Copies of this chain bind each other. A is one copy, B any other.
Amino acid sequence: MGMHQYLQSLSNLETIQRAPGFFKYQNHSVAAHSFKVAETAQFLGDVEENAGQTVDWRSLYEKALNHDYNERFIGDIKTPVKYATPTLRRMLADVEDELSENFVHNEIPTEFQAAYLRRLSEGKDDSLEGRILSVADKIDLLYESFGEIQKGNPEAVFTEIYRESLKTILSFKRMACVRYFLKAVLPEMLAEPFTSQSHLQALTKRILTAAAQSD
């Protein structure tokens, strides 16, 4: 029993994939997702602060960094929406919570247990930091699903994920950071250039013509 187990477990989060079996173009580990959510929350915190809010930065970073550690125990389960009832989802959440508590009591030395119980509990509460976490988590999911759609993944599940993520973000639309995201980030995401063969043919012709004229 000791922190060695904990430090080594971080490496497990590098090998647990999000939505296993769904991503075709780029896989995302729980470790990498946690990093991206923390970076995104940091940026959303900047916006809130610029808008006059007081951000508890320690709490924000702590919530974002640790919000998916529990997936170490049962992995990331993104059951297709249509087969999972709310009851089923609650049951899964309960399982995860108990595994997490068992872990803290069995592995974490006493002097750190309070900190880890707080870190491994649900971070998405009604505080400013909890709401920023909710938004940051969905922004990363939006980017992950956008990445698949943009590269041509035809599975409808990614459109569903995109839609659900955007809707959740919108449910926080009174927050300054969400307003900034909708105004200044989302339009740039949707304006991302697509390359196609016809584009390539035109580009090639243009370069060849220019070269011919420079003779």
A16 in contact with B20 (CB, 8 Å): yes
By a CB distance below 8 angstroms, the chain B residues around A143 are 7-8, 10-11
Chain B CB within 8 A of A121 CB: no
* Distance A24 CA – B195 CA, assembled complex (angstroms): 14
* Distance A102 CA – B81 CA, assembled complex (angstroms): 11
Q: Report which of B83, B98, B194 forms a contact with A154, defined as CB distance below 8 A.
A: B194
| Chain A 111-132 interface residues, beta-carbon cutoff 8 Å to B | 111-112, 115, 119
* Distance A27 CA – B25 CA, assembled complex (angstroms): 12
By a CB distance below 8 angstroms, the chain B residues around A43 are 3, 6-7, 112
Q: Report which of B3, B16, B207 forms a contact with A163, defined as CB distance below 8 A.
A: B207
B35 in contact with A11 (CB, 8 Å): no
**What's the least CB distance linking A19 to chain B, in Å?**
9
A32 in contact with B7 (CB, 8 Å): no
Chain A interface residue bracket vs B:
35 or more
By a CB distance below 8 angstroms, the chain B residues around A149 are 195-197, 200
B182 in contact with A190 (CB, 8 Å): no
Q: Report which of B2, B154, B200 forms a contact with A193, defined as CB distance below 8 A.
A: B154
**What's the least CB distance linking A186 to chain B, in Å?**
7
B156 in contact with A195 (CB, 8 Å): yes
A11 in contact with B26 (CB, 8 Å): yes
Mask of A158-172 contacts with B, CB within 8 angstroms, 1/0:
110011001100100
Known: A31-B32, A156-B193, A195-B153. A88 touches B98 (CB 8 A): yes
A203 in contact with B42 (CB, 8 Å): no
B36 in contact with A11 (CB, 8 Å): yes
By a CB distance below 8 angstroms, the chain B residues around A57 are 57-58, 61-62
Additional 11 contacts, C-beta under 8 A, given A42-B62, A91-B91: A16-B20, A31-B36, A46-B115, A58-B58, A61-B61, A74-B79, A150-B197, A151-B154, A153-B195, A190-B204, A194-B197
